[in-house]
Homo-oligomer: A and B are copies of this chain.
Amino acid sequence: MRIIVDGMGGDNAPQAIVEGVVQASAKLPAGYEICLVGREDCLRRELAKYDYDARIITISHAEEVIAMEDAPVKAVRTKKKSSLVSGIQMVKSGEGDIFISAGNSGALMAGGLFILGRIQGIDRPAIASVYPVLGGSPQLLVDAGANSECKPGNLLEFAMMGSIYAEKVWGRKEPSIGLVNLGVEENKGSTLTKAAYEMLARSGLNFTGNVEARELPDGACDVIVCDGFTGNVILKLTEGFALHILGLLKARFTEGTKAKIGALLLKDKLRSLKGEFDYSEYGGAPILGVKGAIVKMHGSSNANAVKNTVLKSIPYVEEQVVDKIQNSVLDIEEIVNSEREE
């Protein structure tokens, strides 16, 4: 198996990417390789800092770099020699089995759509993100922001793809699916969520009904389904609130001697809590619905996040998640089409 990693993508590239790849390479099963795509001189210089096995880590040269602020579609169309486009091309040609990047998310999605194409029968590929549960197991949130406007059938697609991913990659048995809605009752919600509810109920998936946003931090279900606008709000609000409250605790707990001593005694607890806010332990966010495996890492990923994403991505390929999604399209097609006919 050959894992392609974008050496140039993300805020901390290439340093953190190369360091993380070296760390991951030491833990890969026999027969696995990692190929770094990007400017060869630059990547070689970084690699030279470490003691690594040159049979496991190779480099594929790509001259251009797609920047975080580049317009996604234009960047993919014009920067054909970028590490991002080259990496996805390698998955398309079979030179690689999966592409992992901390680069421009929009370009990653556009590249997946243009180069690999959609799985037949999937209308809207989506980004599936880790939604952390403090003190519990994470949830998979689909869509995390790729599709700000959705039809009911799209939400059913997200549920089906998320269910397969949660089962095959995270090892959840019959993953429970929750639909983000205004209330838990069946008849609640917008036109979109009411229609999606009906479809999910007939889908044969383990649909457990509506979930209110209030329940998400406690770990309401395995797969959280919503449109990409809502998903983006959920992820970013949680991240913002977590950072805000950590900052506030720190400020309050260092006001006055008594508080400082108290905080010192609680240091281990506070540190472990902070660690739980770290999404990177769980790996990256797959782009589900395209004909090949692409995983997006957070733009600010450090070496540890890169290492985790590489290692946690193995079952995505080994379990043939892309093929399984393709095979499951038929199971939901009739329900999705019933909407189109209406």
Contact = CB atoms under 8 A, between A and B. Distances in A.
Contacts of A235: 213
Contact of A145 (B182, B214, B273): B182
B259 A182 contact: no
Interface string A114-127: 00000000000000
A37 B255 CA distance: 47
A108 to B, nearest CB: 16
A242 B233 CA distance: 16
Nearest to A237: B213
A264 interface: yes
A230 interface: yes
A238 interface: yes
A271 B240 CA distance: 22
Nearest to A246: B245
A244 B136 CA distance: 11
A253 B263 CA distance: 10
Contact of A217 (B240, B264, B266): B240
Q: How many copies does the complex hold?
A: 2
A110 to B, nearest CB: 15
Given A237-B213, A237-B214, A261 B265 contact: yes
A239 B262 contact: no
Contact of A149 (B191, B236, B237, B265): B191
Interface string A175-211: 0000010100000011101000000000000000000
A31 B190 CA distance: 45
Which of the listed residues A193, A217, A248, A264 has the most CB atoms from chain B within 10 Å of its own CB? Answer: A217
A109 to B, nearest CB: 13
A327 interface: no
A215 B240 contact: yes
Contact of A216 (B135, B193, B237): B237
A190 B146 CA distance: 11
Given A135-B248, A182-B229, A245-B245, 7 more contacts: A145-B182, A182-B232, A217-B244, A229-B230, A241-B242, A262-B266, A265-B265
The 8 closest A-B pairs by CB, nearest first: A262-B265, A214-B240, A213-B237, A262-B266, A217-B244, A148-B190, A214-B236, A213-B236
